[in-house]
A and B are shown apart, each in its own frame.
Chain A
């Protein structure tokens, strides 16, 4: 039951957002939640470390079960609550295959984005190099182009076809973050269309990062 669940989360973090979308889609509104600040280092607080020794968000408890990995939480929720809310993994084998393929490619997209956005946080000053950063940005560009291509080839409005699926739960937050960071709508029309169309989906509207609502994004990605 939602009342037995607790989510510790941070605004704008795609892994946190994935779990929140999944909870909404599986009709598990009413879960306990606590918004924490990455900037204030609250993800390293004792409260979080007690649940997630990695000191990362999301941290998620379902009764006495702990699933901090966002993919793990989403899959677990789909499995446990298969009969309620949206069916996130289709029964049909071809549809299932495409959903699973895109869902896990989503991890590659997330990693490449993190390599760029977290560069200064991850790489000590003496190791930072313009050439390395440039290379990471080029790698991200190639990845984003691949997703634009996926959407061009997949009619239906969602990442895996005509139904909302686990692929959208996992990947939409990353796409939204790309545009938040200034990705060009002109250069990536399919991604832009996808971004705009899903904004009004109830689960996404309900979980839109609170800190994004009143502040402008950045233009970091405008040239890629």
Chain B
């Protein structure tokens, strides 16, 4: 039951967003939640460490079951609440296989975005180790990755989700990355298929309900990625 669940999360964090979308899709509204601040280092607080020794968000409990890895939480929720809410893993083997393939490519996609963002904002990279050439290289890698996802969506046609005609776990885990890309200024003119996908998903109730609050407070997009 949602009342036995607790999510500790941070705004704008794709891994946290994934779990929140999954909870909404499985009709588990009403879970206990606490918004924490990365800036104030609240992800390293004792409250978090008691559940997640890695001091990371999301941190998620269902009763005594701890699932801090966002993909683990999403799989768990689909499995435990299979009979309620949206069916997130399709029955057809072909669609299922594509869902699994895209879900896990989603990890690579997210990492490539992260490297660029961290580098741009000087997070996690000590000053003496920053190289202009590295930022350039990482941006090029992200562009290659973006073109791949554009091609995936192109092949499936307009209005499609990542694994075909239905919304699946692939969309749960990958949309937050796409949402973040556009927040940081990705050009929908240069990436029209991703733009279309973004527009389709941003209207979905589960996505709207879990939209990062600080993006609502400051709706102006950044321009970090506008030229890539």
Contact = CB atoms under 8 A, between A and B. Distances in A.
B81 to A, nearest CB: 11
A105 B69 contact: yes
Contacts of A135: 126
Contacts of A53: 148
Contacts of A76: 96-97, 100
Interface stretch (B24-32, B34-42, B72-80, B203-211): B72-80
Contact of A100 (B64, B75, B96): B75
B151 to A, nearest CB: 8
Interface residues of A, number: 40
A126 B79 contact: no
Contact of A97 (B67, B93, B97, B100): B67
A69 B105 contact: yes
Given A62-B97, A72-B100, A104-B72, A97 B105 contact: no
B131 A127 contact: yes
Q: Give the interface centre of B54, B69, B71, B94 by most chain A CB atoms within 10 Å.
A: B69
Nearest to A123: B134
A124 interface: yes
B68 to A, nearest CB: 7
A92 B163 CA distance: 29
Contacts, number: 96
A43 to B, nearest CB: 15
**In terms of DSSP, what is the predominant structure of the interface of chain B?**
helix
Contacts of B219: none
Contacts of A71: 100, 104
A215 interface: no
B125 to A, nearest CB: 9
A132 B80 CA distance: 42
Given A71-B104, A72-B103, A79-B96, A126 B72 contact: no
A146 B56 CA distance: 14
B199 interface: no
Given A76-B97, A104-B69, A97 B137 contact: no
Interface in B137-181: 137, 148
Contacts of A111: 111
Contacts of A103: 69, 72
A223 interface: no
Given A69-B104, A73-B100, A97-B65, 13 more contacts: A69-B100, A70-B104, A71-B100, A76-B100, A79-B89, A101-B69, A103-B69, A103-B72, A107-B107, A126-B131, A126-B133, A132-B126, A149-B53
Interface of A: 53-54, 62, 64-73, 75-76, 79-80, 89, 93-94, 96-98, 100-101, 103-105, 107, 111, 123-124, 126-127, 129, 131-132, 135, 146, 149
Interface of B: 53-54, 62, 64-73, 75-76, 79-80, 89, 93-94, 96-98, 100-101, 103-105, 107, 111, 126, 128-129, 131, 133-134, 137, 148
7 contacts: A53-B148, A64-B94, A72-B100, A72-B104, A101-B72, A104-B69, A104-B72
